[in-house]
Structure 1
Amino acid sequence: MTAPTSPSPQIRDLGLLSNRRSAALVTSLGEVVWYCPGRFDAPSLLARLLDDERGGSWAVDLPGAVGGGRRYLGDGGHLESVLRTGTRHAELTITDFMPYGDGLPCGVCRVLSQAPQPYRLVLNAAPDYARRAVTLSQDGAAVQIDGRHWLYASHPAQIQGESVVVEVPAGEAAWAFLSDERLEAVPDWETVTRWREASLLNWQNLTTHATYQGPYQDAVRASLRALRLLTDHTGNATIAAPTTSLPEVLGGEKNWDYRYVWLRDAGMVVSALTRAGGDGSEGRAFLSFICAQATPQHGLPASPFLTVDGGEPPEETELDLAGYGDSRPVQIGNGARGQLQLDAYGNVLLAAKLIYERFGTREHWGVIERLAEFLCGHWQDDDYGIWEERRKRPYVAGKVLAAVALEYIAGHSRDPAQAARWMAAAEAARVWVAGNALTAAGAYAYVAGEEGVDVTAVLYPVWGFCAPDSPEMLATLAALEGEYCQDHLYWRHLADDDRREGAFLAGTLWVAQYWVMRDPPRARVILDAVLAYANDLGLLPEMADPRTREPLGNGPQTFVHAALIGLVVDLAAAERAQETP
């Protein structure tokens, strides 16, 4: 494989493409450095993001080019990037998209403006996370790649060693399509234009579902786009992130696969999609996916996370890749499957409560009832916690969320005895928290009986468990400010106290959401600190290190973007209330 000459991909530089089935990541220099054909968690074909030398990419080899800016076209997934050369006013505009919609082929399409000078499109494929050597063969006007993919282009695609190269002369426009299937007819300019226009129209039709207007409108717009780009359109399942093994600690071992659907995310994702204006159909559809797939397994009422088709994610497997910034292991699958995570079920109940109140329904009641019954009987059990620790302990957040979720959902039960039983369990959980879950300073502990606190506790008043100015919350905020905060960014509790891990951006946004209830201007300061880590396209990573200014972790992360939407909606409401005489 030809060694790449462009800089190593950086998290902050990644743009996201999606057809709502799979995703690709492209740099500001127009290099596709991550692509999983067919579905979000499929084996990668391009993975230079995780291995500079062996991972594979699809680059635009335009000598002397520098990034000249980029933008999404509308609210959908078509990304327009400009490359500039040293020649005055010499620009190459690249429009990248994955055709989205029924009847359109699956793959990555690139449309390039008239060339200011000769350049090459260079595809170095690395099938199955670079575990297999690539095979290339000419197939008429296309080049067949690994027997499963085809490269079609406006100019001849040539096999040069292990690369596929398309040479474009100066003054000519071009297109290229990396297809997941052999097309019956060789595409031409008219075909590609039709794909592009149909895909843009499909995105336009989708993006009318949420219509938020107010403060931080651009940030909300970018966050809604991220949620939609990372939602599978066949089942309406939203994955946590399109990547695996982007490190929480640069050069460390905290590298996980996030290309799955977490029940925990349901509460915030459904809330974001439902409360951001529009008809609420997208949030409702995600809840439908969760409830349709929430089947008992491993002695639990539902798995804590799923694949996009409702299956069980595979066990963790290490890959022989160098890793982002030499962060290893690189792995696929996720070992947290089968864990008891009480907060996951509580979040599903919160999502249902929101939908029920918004639409006056009790949809999916059978599943919601089953999850509530499980929490009623098991809230006191030790679990693995919101951060999916590797041993069971009495994590407090799960008990708190069980209490409020049972209280909320009891109001929708039509069985008085059932409602009374759920309310009794909720009260018992509250009593347990009051008696077992406070530190010596009176703050809410991360684990009952220990002194550490966690940023999740700022959600307790947001959920309605306690008042924002209760003594316990004031003590909790004091602990977070003193031990877990830098430059308005907040760390989660770390069992190993490894402070090399970045500050957790969703948790930081939760802190801002807490301050909406007490001091909205302070919430803005914290939100602005988070937005400083958004890239030029408004995409946010999982974590950020205020000491190095580096983004960290898998991203863009839907949990972060959903938290941002929820915060801004609450902030806008609070500021309107302050303006009302």
Structure 2
Amino acid sequence: MTDRPIEDYAIIGDTCTTALVARDGSIDWLCWPCHDSPALFLRLLDEDKGGACEILLEGLRETRRRYRPGTTILETTFVTATGTLTLADFMPLHPLDEVPDEGPDGAPHGRIVRLATCEAGTVTGRFRVRPTFDYARDGAALEPEAGGTVLCRRLAKPEGVRVAASVPLTIAGDRVEAAFALRAGEGASLVLAHREDDDGDVGSAAASLSATQGYWEEWSGRCTYHGPHRDDVLRSALVLKLLTHAPSGGIIAAATTSLPEAVPGTRNFDYRYVWMRDASFTVTAFVNLGYVREAAEFLRFLRDADKTRGRDLKLMYGINGRVPEEEILGHLRGWRGVGPVRIGNAASGQDQYDIYGEFLVALHAFLDAVDYDPPVKVNDHLPEALGHLTDHVIRCRDEPDHGIWELRDEKRQILHTKGMLWVALDRAVQIAQEVDVASPERVEEWRRVAAEIRAEYHEKGWNAQVGAYTQAYGSDDLDAAVLRTVLFGAFDAHAPRVAATLDAVSAGLGDGDLVYRYRNDDGFDHPEATFAACAFWRVGCLALAGRTEEAEPLFARLLTRGNDLGLFAEEIDAATGEQRGNVPQGFTHMAIINHAVRLDRAARHRESRTDEPCQWAVGA
């Protein structure tokens, strides 16, 4: 049974896909060639049936790791009984001579490169590669090739992976192995190549490492945040960049599927798709750090994915098409035996009307960042898209929905949704004040309907018995998502009822520094862990209320909840501190970025000694 904690995993990638590397150097998760392609390595979800790419060392005593600063290049140092070895893992992504206006800003090579260097003494070990195609549903034929490489060919389809190494390869059953015995200063390299025309040349590995490091260092150097949490913010930005799909411009929610949110339980879902909500969050985070091009690339993705220009905006998209139907892979045991393993996502057919507010927040932030002078392909369709999106808001303002938490029971009049509908119209009005996107009569309609929606949720969302704004109209259930609406201005952070709601959420949903999304019955059999982003929302509400003396130390403590590399999954088990859910989770890393920015602006606001209220639309 797999016993590696979720926080044991690091991520590498090339803005096409990602791989997860365990603390012991085993690559236990890889979908190739795209984020949502079938997994080739999936020991993460089944120790026995799932393949991996391992490094096995004799006399191993100690392991430590880090990322090279400002990069996604993972360095793991192994101390053995006889020496020390450092392993550099990366997926090559080289700079372009000239970055185009649209499209990838780097050149991915469709490779994984592993460079092992003996730093001291002697080290003996081997690489071992065991591919398991199509989530271990298809077999592999291992074929030696001229030149010493091995082609791992999928049986059912004409595709495969080429293995090359600087030391001889051998085939042992369903595995390819590369043994090495190194002295100080010597090295061994392994290359996995996905493209058919890639011969797996290992001679270029060192040059590729240098080029990849140059790409990431240049990208990181453009981060505009220089506050006290720069290292954490930059690591989160690098995670979000890895979750992009450069060929399409899409942004996925997380790198994995089916890591459980509850142990035991059945809350296992596939997050390798482009959620409108999560991607919009990420766009806002990118804009807050000066990465405007990444925001523009997501708009390119939407332009291609939604030919209706907002008339038929979907909740989620596949990277290259529709989200597949949800399917259970019953032959896989799941992480620590906690199933089921799911691919696809049934929530793609839900009604979640808050997405209109989420997207318009991101669009407004992008337009503001480019001084309302967007690329022609955005500007030309802006009036039509705004018209369609605001039509949606007005049409669904009285409709129940499944909401941000994708509740799989009945639809409700969810307060968070209502607040985000107001946000949608508010941002549309703000955009219209800067550019000619609608007639004065239409803009006035947006203002009028926004005011009506706001008055309604202030009245119907308040529960006097509970003493808080609750999850839905007429509900007694608390919901941390209400805090998000405060962050976007749907409620006044200084209002007494908002203060009471913050206190109620902290008491009723809080567990120390951590916060549950909600505690009401949602149709699943076991309660989930705390939701990491909700704890950061509490930081934001405290900051907006002027309670920075509470917000700042809380934020600092929450950052320590990540793993040793600063990576976060979706949830945290309050009792054990272990991470839960898919990893790394864009939702959490976006919250880290936006609240670091919010606290930095709060500090500068205090230094200015102004009496003006402190309100910023920096996202959630």
Match of 2:596 in 1: 568
Q: Which amino acid counterpart does residue 33 of structure 2 have in structure 1?
A: G
Does 2:97 correspond to 1:97?
A: no
Specify the alignment match of 1:547 in structure 2. Answer: 575
Structure-1 residue corresponding to 2:403: 385
The aligned counterpart of 2:219 is: 206
Alignment partner of 1:314 is 2:333: no
Is the 1:263–1:290 Cα contact (8 Å) retained in structure 2? no
CA distance in 1, matches of 2:541, 2:296: 26
Letter in 2 for 1:91: T
Mapped to 1, the partners of 2:188 and 2:532 lie a distance apart of: 40
Q: Is the 8 A contact 1:251 1:326 kept in 2?
A: no
Structure 1 residue 66: Cα displacement: 4.0
In structure 2, which of residues 115, 118, 121 is the aligned counterpart of residue 114 of structure 1?
118
Corresponding residue SS for 1:136: strand
**Residue aligning to 1:303:** 314
Q: Can you list the C-alpha shifts for 1:365-411, whole angstroms capped at 9, x where unaligned? A: 13233112211221221111001112322111111111122022123
Shift of 1:203: 2.2
The residue number in structure 1 matching 2:149 is 142
SS of residue matched to 2:39? coil
Other structure's SS at 1:114 match: strand
Counterpart residue number, 2:509: 484
More moved, 36-45 vs 407-416: 407-416
| Worse-matched range after superposition: 224-233 or 240-249 | 224-233
Q: Deviations over 1:215-248 (max 9, x none)?
A: 2111101111111111111222221110000000
Report the secondary structure of 2:406's partner residue: coil
Query: In the TM superposition, what whole-angstrom CA distance separates every residue of 1:506-526 from its partner, at most 9, and x where no partner exists?
Result: 111111011112211211233
- The one of 171, 177, 181 aligned to 2:191: 177
**Rounded Cα–Cα distance in structure 2 between residues aligned with 1:150 and 1:32:** 16
Aligned residue number for residue 102 of structure 2: none
Which residue is 2:618 aligned to? none
Query: CA separation in 2, counterparts of 1:206 and 1:381?
Result: 43
TM-score, with normalisation over the residues of structure 2? 0.88
Deviation at 1:466, TM superposition (A): 1.9
Between the aligned partners of 1:233 and 1:289, the Cα distance in structure 2 is 10
SS of the residue corresponding to residue 48 of structure 1 reads coil
Normalising by structure 1, report the TM-score.
0.94
Q: Distance in 2 between matches of 1:426 and 1:499?
A: 38
Q: Following TM superposition, by how much is the alpha carbon of 1:428 offset from its aligned partner in structure 2, in angstroms?
A: 1.9
Cα-Cα RMSD:
2.0
Displacement of 1:315 in angstroms is 0.9
Residue 160 to residue 397, structure 1, CA distance change in 2 (3 Å): same
Query: Is the CA contact 1:266–1:287 (under 8 Å) kept in the aligned structure 2?
Result: no
* 291 and 238 in structure 1: CA distance in 2 versus 1, 3 angstrom threshold: same
* Correspondence 1:113-512 to 2 at 5 A: 113-114=117-118, 116-140=122-146, 141-147=148-154, 148-171=160-183, 172-183=186-197, 185=199, 187-189=201-203, 191-276=204-289, 278=290, 280-295=292-307, 301-309=312-320, 311-319=321-329, 320-361=331-372, 363=379, 364-365=381-382, 366-390=384-408, 391-413=410-432, 414=436, 415-439=439-463, 440-496=465-521, 500-512=527-539
CA distance in 1, matches of 2:448, 2:479: 27
SS in 1 for 2:40: coil
| Secondary structure of residue in 1 paired with 2:235 | helix
Q: Is 2:51 the counterpart of 1:56? A: yes
For 1:325 and 1:16, the matched residues in 2 are separated by 20
Shift of 1:103: 5.6
Deviations 1:474-495 (A, max 9, x none): 2212221221001111000144
CA displacement at 1:82 relative to structure 2:
0.5
Q: Secondary structure at the match of 1:135?
A: strand
Q: Secondary structure at the match of 2:257?
A: coil
Secondary structure at the aligned position of 1:118 is classed as strand
CA distances 1:158-181 after superposition (whole Å, capped 9, x unpaired): 110111111112324110111102
The count of residues paired between Structure 1 and Structure 2 equals 570
Asked if structure 1 preserves the Cα contact closer than 8 Å seen for 2:467 and 2:504, the reply is no
Provide Cα deviations, 1:289-340, integer angstroms capped at 9, x if missing partner.
234423459x97211011223x211011111211012111101000011222
- SS at 1:117's partner residue? strand
Instruction: For residue 201 of structure 1, report the CA deviation from its aligned partner.
Output: 2.3
Greater shift, 139-148 or 542-551, is seen at 139-148
Amino acid in structure 1 at the alignment position of 2:583: G
Distance 1:566 1:306, change over 3 A: same
Shift of 1:356: 2.1
CA distance in 1, matches of 2:297, 2:355: 18
Which amino acid in 2 is paired with 1:179? A
Cα deviation per residue 1:264-293 (whole Å; 9 max; x = unaligned)? 1244212211112x3522223223423442
Q: Structure 1: which 5+ runs fail to align? A: none
| Contact 1:487–1:529 under 8 Å retained in 2 | no
**Structure 2 residue aligned with 1:37, among 32, 49, 55?**
32
The equivalent residue for 2:20 is 25
The answer to whether the Cα contact below 8 Å between 2:253 and 2:279 also exists between their aligned partners in 1 is no
Secondary structure of 2:44's aligned partner: helix
Provide closer, same or farther for how the CA distance between residues 511 and 484 of structure 1 changes in structure 2, counting only shifts above 3 A: same
**1:523 aligned partner, one-letter code:** A
AA matched with 2:364: K
For residues 262 and 466 of structure 2, the distance between their equivalents in structure 1, rounded to whole angstroms, comes to: 30
Unaligned runs of 5+ in 2: 95-105, 155-159, 610-620
Residues 279 and 252 of structure 1: CA distance in aligned 2, closer, same or farther (over 3 Å):
closer
375-384 or 110-119: which moved more? 110-119
- Cα pair 1:210 1:279 within 8 Å, conserved: yes
Instruction: Work out the CA distance in 2 between the residues paired with 1:176 and 1:249.
Output: 37
